[in-house]
Amino acid sequence: MLLKDKVVIITGASKGLGVGIAETCAAEGATVVLAARSFDKLSELAARIRAAGGAAHPVRCDVGRLDDLRRLVAETVGAFGRIDGLVNNAGVNYVKPFLETTEADWERVISIDLKGSFFLTQMAAQQMVRQQPRGGSIVQIASVHTYASVAGASPYDAAKHGMVGFSKAAAIELAREGVRINVLSPGLCRTEIWQGLIDAAPSEEACLAYWNANIPAERLVEPEEIGRACVFLLSDYSSALTGANIMADLGMTSQLVSREPYQSKAIDGTG
């Protein structure tokens, strides 16, 4: 088990990627501290993890509130004595034209997607530096939007780029303290966001056809796949990695343009 005896906090653990990350980390031996606003959903997930032989502890937490973050860290340390890992997964999606974005829109997205991850990273790192043995691993769940963008995502992109920026700076500062910080940037995943895209499209078939043209593997990333990537980054197997931004996107950001809806003839440069 790659995470045996490690205590790992996972935010946004009540749905989507958070569930996949939590279940995968628990299966690899971690004691997972599950944080989200919906305590009922967290309790259900914790019970499911325990039934499978894992260890889980739910904590109600709004990552946009610093008092909640302080309580999350204090409760984790009080219950388990240390923090070995943190996955900053909580976030909100946002799609709205740039010219229509309001201050309230900006404040909401930045508060959850950037401010919360910044200060929880700081609080967890403070604990990691003073505990014995010291050190730990922090994983920031960002997005392929840290590489390229789509229309209507300005506050979201600002938050995710900010996450990469502060993580690189903090990784440099904390490297000698044994604290590693890496960013994991998923592509399109099979979560509630995918269901929202289907609901906004003319049909599920049209939605699939469009996205398959933009994803070389022609499928969605599964939450468990992001979970396994987190396990690697939280484990000692990734001990040389810090300050990295890893694209977990099935090739999406490596493709220059969408795949053409026809079969091209060969172009070999001899004509």
Which residues carry out catalysis? 156
Instruction: Identify the sign of the CA torsion 106, 112, 118, 123.
Output: positive
Kindly list the strands in the beta sheet with 55-60, ordered across the sheet, starting from the edge strand earlier in the chain.
55-60, 31-36, 7-11, 85-88, 136-141, 179-186, 245-248
The set of residues, in sequence order, having a beta carbon less than 8 Å from that of 183 and lying 6+ positions away, is: 139, 140, 142, 146, 163, 164, 167, 244, 245, 246
- The C-alpha atoms of residue 171 and residue 136 are separated, in whole angstroms, by 11
Other C-beta atoms within 10 Å of 78: how many? 8
- The C-alpha atoms of residue 248 and residue 231 are separated, in whole angstroms, by 13
Residues facing residue 58 across a β-bridge: 34
